[in-house]
Chains A and B, each alone.
Chain A
């Protein structure tokens, strides 16, 4: 069988990466442009979110309506959003339709019209999303936890603030587009039914003459805060936690992931068993591994009735400390099987694979095969994970609580 992976860097810095998946009729694309929300100019924070909307309001020879109609006529399932490091454009459809849409996406990225009326509407929709967060306690908590935990501005709310949205002008957003929509640092990833030669030629023709330029550099400032209480008249008290751990490129990253799954991944995890199944303190409780570039963390969430929230927080902290005593061989085995199965089954979706290919190229500079990931998981031994949890479990998490009454956090009284 021929090589299922393809990777090539154009002279202007744009990286093209692709994976061919046998048996598929569809293809999916993920285009990462180095214009994420953490790079928003401080005074107009939220500009990446506004741009994610605005670039689709007419580009090249097509106005707002004809661009949307063109992409719709190809049946492209698509999205456009501002991530931490990148503005992300993605699309999936039968493979030939994705190929047919590339010319329009080149216009969207390189030649968006950025019209004045579209700018007002995109900014207003961003304001509305910002106002909407107030109505959804769980989302509000998640935004607050990222802001408190991650180094600034990596954790900044991608929607910005009312103040920065008010300060934003069309001219400033156009300037921001010119500065950050550049090929160096951009990654174009594909997965599914693909002809690599044809894809390479097509991307070369559409993006090869995109003038080389680098995006501005980020200098994040670490956060010092460990505790935040947000008063809110909600039905439940919402609790968010974040612990630092190794990042995704670290040799122990799968050790960390497996430890995280044992603590709060599946239904046989420690937290699910103790907090939900045995003590019935909440419906939702989980912990997941998340990683930014060079920064890994565990992020946890629980939502509990107001009179039981303290017991929930205490129980989560206690289970986390208890993890230091070690995990069992059975627990490790289950976590490994689960992570491997999940990796293989995610490979059945072209959208999920295109996204994983883009992510791999961003963090590692290359695509990992599913076999390579399986080997990394298999390489984790009981000794390694127990050495890891012995030191990791003593780390105090950052905690954010949202609800009508403040909770006690023994180590850090509010």
Chain B
């Protein structure tokens, strides 16, 4: 499965990245825009995600009915997502629809933002916010980000609040769009079966007249301390606890070591948390993971258990984080590496997986990395590199948030 990388920059500055796989049966394309809730102000909180919805409401030429129909006509698997730092619009189609899918995506990225659609879609956003309120894991995650990052823009929820969404105006959204959505702040990533020359011609035709933008991101470092917060909720049956502590950023070379370390500590099978907590049924879920952000990063822990076990589970998890610094063994590092290597091979076989990987890599680091390079970086991680990492990121300070029937003393 030889994957071939190509890059072309249009005169207006739009970067086109391609990873060609001649064995593939499909073509995936995605626009990655370097914008998200951390680029908002209080006044326009939630605009990034709301705008993502409005992109599907049509350009000057098309209505929302047209957009939905056109993507379905080519059998596209398509969607969009918004995070704190990135908004992505993507589609996966059979190669015969390369032209049409690029045309449709290009129209998506030039929205009309009609007032009537804006007013209707506001209600869908409010429903989405309500939906997530019925999901304790999501509620706790938002509370964790808010508590951990405090006055830093990463603290802001992606969805916004019902109040901020109700207060948003069409002109605020249009202004945000014109500042953030243009070459210079976005990239088009494509992967799978394709003729790259054809892709470049088509994108030039569809996107060549887009004006570049000079978008910046406030790169101020977060002020972190060991914050604690309990969110009593008598409606819940289980106790949900999360913690967050600094880790390498998305640009940091040590991010591969961070991923391996997170798996050693808290993968769903065979990790330290698994043996200490899940195997013994003290907690039903005990994860430790790595979230790289732009310019900073986080490790997080997440525990779900019976309320009466919550304190014990948290203490065991925190003790494991200390113990691993002293008795980390080479064989557990090797197992974690092998598991990650498998997931790299499996996702490399899917155009959608590679499109996402190269697009976000470019947004964060401005460079392409091949599967082989990722594999090499992964294989070079040893127990020593994890020990070095833990000296620099010693799981302190740690923010801890707990939600459930128990008012946990943290």
A binding-site residues for B, Cβ under 8 Å: 22-26, 57, 64-65, 68-69, 71-78, 92-94, 97, 120-122, 124-125, 128-129, 131-132, 134-138, 233-236, 238, 266-268, 272-273, 276-278, 280-284, 303-305, 330, 333-334, 337-342, 344-345, 347-351
Is B318 on the interface with A (CB-CB < 8 A)? no
Q: Are B94 and A136 in contact (CB under 8 A)?
A: no
A282 in contact with B24 (CB, 8 Å): no
A64 pairs with B72, CB closer than 8 A: no
| Contact of A344 with B304 in the complex, beta carbons under 8 Å | no
Residue B380, interface by CB 8 Å: no
Ordered by A's residue number, 11 sampled pairs between the chains whose C-beta atoms are within 8 Å are A68-B269, A72-B336, A77-B342, A94-B342, A128-B306, A137-B134, A234-B134, A235-B134, A280-B123, A304-B127, A349-B346
B306 nearest in chain A by CB position: A128
B304 contacts which chain A residues (CB < 8 A)?
Answer: 128, 132
Classify the secondary structure of B's interface with A.
helix
Tell whether B265 is near chain A: CB-to-CB under 8 Å.
no
Question: B72: shortest Cβ distance to chain A, in Å?
Answer: 4
Is there an interface contact between B345 and A93, defined as CB atoms closer than 8 Å? yes
The reply to whether A77 and B25 contact each other, CB–CB distance below 8 Å, is no
* Cβ < 8 Å to A, chain B residues 279-299: 279-281, 284
List 4 A-B pairs, minimum CB-CB distance, nearest first. A23-B23, A341-B75, A75-B338, A75-B342
Asked whether B71 is an interface residue with its Cβ less than 8 Å from the other chain, the reply is: yes
Asked if B75 and A68 make an inter-chain contact with CB atoms under 8 angstroms apart, the answer reads: no
Contact (Cβ within 8 A) B68 A277: yes
Is B279's CB under 8 angstroms from A121's CB? yes
Residues of chain B with a CB closer than 8 A to A273's CB: 65, 68
A128 touches B305 (CB 8 A): yes
Instruction: Report the bound CA distance from A233 to B233 in whole Å.
Output: 12
Provide the B334-353 mask, 1 if CB < 8 A to any CB of A, else 0: 11101111110110011100
Cα–Cα, bound, A347→B23 (Å): 12
Within the assembled complex, what's the spacing in Å between the Cα atoms of A224 and B1? 54
A282 near B127: Cβ-Cβ < 8 Å = yes
B335 near A344 with CB under 8 A, answer no
Kindly state the separation between the CA atoms of A116 and B346 in the bound complex, as whole angstroms.
36
Are the C-beta atoms of A283 and B127 separated by less than 8 Å?
yes
* Nearest-Cβ distance from residue A327 to partner chain B, whole angstroms: 13
- In the bound complex, what is the Cα–Cα distance between A339 and B304 (angstroms)? 38
Given contacts A77-B346, A131-B306, A278-B120, 13 further A-B pairs with CB under 8 A are: A23-B1, A69-B331, A73-B331, A74-B338, A75-B339, A75-B341, A77-B343, A93-B346, A135-B237, A267-B56, A303-B127, A303-B134, A351-B346
Given the complex, which residues of A lie within 8 Å of B340, measured CB to CB? 75
Task: Kindly provide the distance from the CB of B320 to the nearest chain A CB, expressed in whole angstroms.
Answer: 16
Judge if B206 is at the interface, Cβ distance under 8 Å: no
* Assembly CA distance A295 to B198 (angstroms): 47
Evaluate contact between B284 and A268: CB separation under 8 angstroms.
Answer: no
Contact B93 A341 (CB under 8 A): yes
Q: Give the chain B neighbours of A282 by CB distance below 8 A.
A: 124, 127
Produce 1/0 per residue, B383-407, CB < 8 A to A: 0000000000000000000000000
How far does the alpha carbon of A303 sit from the alpha carbon of B93 in the complex, in Å? 29
Q: Is B235 an interface residue (CB 8 A)?
A: yes
Partner of A73, one of B74, B75, B334, B346: B334
Known A-B contacts A136-B135, A268-B69, A337-B73; A348 and B24 likewise in contact (beta carbons under 8 Å): yes
| B26 within 8 A of partner (CB) | yes
CA distance A268 to B69 in the complex (A): 5
| Docked-complex contact B269 and A72, CB < 8 angstroms | yes
Tell me if B349 and A131 are in contact (CB < 8 A): no
Q: Is the CB of B25 within 8 A of A348?
A: yes
B5 → chain A closest CB, angstroms: 18
Interface string of B305-324 (1 = CB under 8 A from A): 11000000000000000000
In the bound complex, what is the Cα–Cα distance between A282 and B120 (angstroms)? Answer: 11
Which chain B residues numbered 238 to 285 have a C-beta less than 8 Å away from chain A? 238, 269-270, 274-275, 278-281, 284
Asked if B68 contacts A72 (CB within 8 A), the reply is no
Q: Which residues of A contact B157 (CB under 8 A)?
A: none
Q: A273 to nearest B CB, angstroms?
A: 7
Give the residues in chain B near A77, CB-CB below 8 Å: 339, 342-343, 346
Q: Is the CB of A348 within 8 A of B72?
A: no
The chain B residue sitting closest to A337, CB to CB, is: B75
User: A339: which B residues are within 8 A, CB to CB?
Assistant: 75
B130 at the A interface (CB under 8 A) = yes
Residue of B nearest to A272 (CB): B68
**In whole angstroms, what is the CA distance A26 to B346 when docked?**
7
B365 interface hit (Cβ, 8 Å)? no
Q: Which residues of B are found within 8 Å of A344, using beta-carbon distances? A: 25-26, 94
* A74 contact set on B, CB distance < 8 A: 338
In contact, A350 and B349 (Cβ under 8 angstroms): yes
Contact partner of B338 (CB less than 8 A), chosen from A72, A120, A277, A333, is A72
Assess A342 versus B279: contact at CB under 8 Å? Given A72-B338, A92-B342, A236-B127.
no
Judging by beta carbons under 8 Å apart, are B76 and A125 in contact? no
Q: Is B127 within 8 A of A121, CB to CB?
A: no
Residues in A neighbouring B274, C-beta threshold 8 A: 68
Digit string of B84-128 for contact with A (CB within 8 Å is 1, else 0)? 000000001110000000000000000000000000111111111
Look across to chain B and name the residue whose beta carbon is closest to the beta carbon of A77.
Answer: B342
Which residue of chain A has the shortest Cβ distance to B236 in the bound complex?
A135
